[in-house]
Amino acid sequence: MKAIPFAQRRKLMQVLLTSLFQTARLEGLTSRTLKMDCERTADASTLKGDRIAAGIGLILSAVFLLSLADASVKYFSHRMPIWQLFLGASFILVPILGTWLVNGIKSETIAIGSVRWITARSLLLLLMWVAYYAALPLIPLSVAAVAIYTTPLFIALFAACFGTERLTFLGWLAVCLGFVGVTTVLQPGKGSFTAAVLLPVLGAVFYGMAMVVTRQHCREEHPLVLAFALNVAFLIAACAGGIVSVLCEDFSAQAPFLLSAWQPLGWREAGFITCYAIALVTINTATARAYQLAPAALVGTFDYAYLIFACFWGYWFFNEVPSASTWVGMLMILLAGLMVSRNSAS
């Protein structure tokens, strides 16, 4: 298959990002992390009034934008460090979310519960984003996507070990199958194996821990409080990361996306950061609404379309062609995720 010239790919990226900026709407909170928070409200909507087609359409749109956002981060990773991206996005989102939060507190419609657990959750999610994004410049997007989508397995495992939920035989079988799938994709022991492929798996571990904290200790917290706290964590981490980058400048070659010096931003980079922030809001809004309109197990099934979209963007922008082992492992993880979903629904 003929490769698409780099100039055309770059122009297409700019067109897609511009389109995203023009069509996105600030209608909700931020990031993929509200997905598990919204599942507890989905049960009530499954009893009556389901809008299956609308729910499926929304979740497909959300994961399409999410895969594009992640591909964009990989695309721009050589132009700015991760902390510069976090700082720019949080500068946009913190004032917006903070204004809504203050108004909610003043009107007594929003209350803050446990600051300790909110902080712990935000820290775990921050670590998840850092681990996943740190891997994107180093490994194919499809491999990173497969690894991060082991999160349902870790959530089920941690909920069974540290929470009140229990796994059935089907659930334990799914966890084992999922980890076999991860091993198939990562191929430890092979000459092509690098430690970078473990970063998305580590991110999945942090995400699973964060969701257990959410379900056990933050279920009564308003989603706006959780979203604001997460973006404040991004802002603080960005400032700290900038300082570390200056102190560790001699080591920037080993981890350029984490430790490279901050770069002057042109209009493309500034536009990307703005689009990225708005995309997170749009993704979250579509995901939340999807879980309100359709059964959680059904929506979760279509959530795995992210893997297909990630493979598409990986090929389109970076000429990455998934190997046979990646496709086999992806199918195993998809099947395991569906089994876990059925286990949770039963």
0.85 cut: is pTM over it? Answer: no
3-state secondary structure 252-316: CCCCHHHHCCCCCCCHHHHHHHHHHHHHHHHHHHHHHHHHHHCCHHHHHHHHCHHHHHHHHHHHH
Mean pLDDT of the chain: 78
Long-range CB contacts (within 8 A, 24+) of 91-95 = 91/235, 92/273, 92/274, 92/277, 92/278, 93/30, 93/231, 93/277, 93/280, 93/281, 94/228, 94/231, 94/232, 94/235
- Cα–Cα distance, 109 to 101 (Å, whole number): 9
- Pairwise pLDDT comparison (200 vs 345), residue with the higher score: 200
Q: Which residue has the higher pLDDT, 117 or 163?
A: 117
Per DSSP, the residues of 172-186 read: HHHHHHHHHHHHHHH
Q: What share of the chain is helix, strand, coil (3-state, %, to 5)?
A: 80, 0, 20
- Of the given ranges (32-46, 197-211, 248-262, 292-306), which has the lowest mean pLDDT? 32-46
Burial class (CB within 10 angstroms; exposed 0-12, middle 13-18, buried 19+) of 265: middle
Q: 25: alpha, beta or left, given left = phi > 0 and alpha = psi -120 to 50?
A: beta
Q: What is the pLDDT of residue 159?
A: 73
pLDDT in tens, 54-88: 888 888 998 899 999 999 999 988 888 889 999 99
C-alpha dihedral, 259 to 262 to 266 to 268, nearest 10°: 30
Distance of CA 165 to the CA centre of its chain: 24
Residue 114 has pLDDT above 70, yes or no: yes
How does residue 19 score in pLDDT terms, banded at 50, 70 and 90?
Answer: very low
Q: What is the pLDDT of residue 32?
A: 43
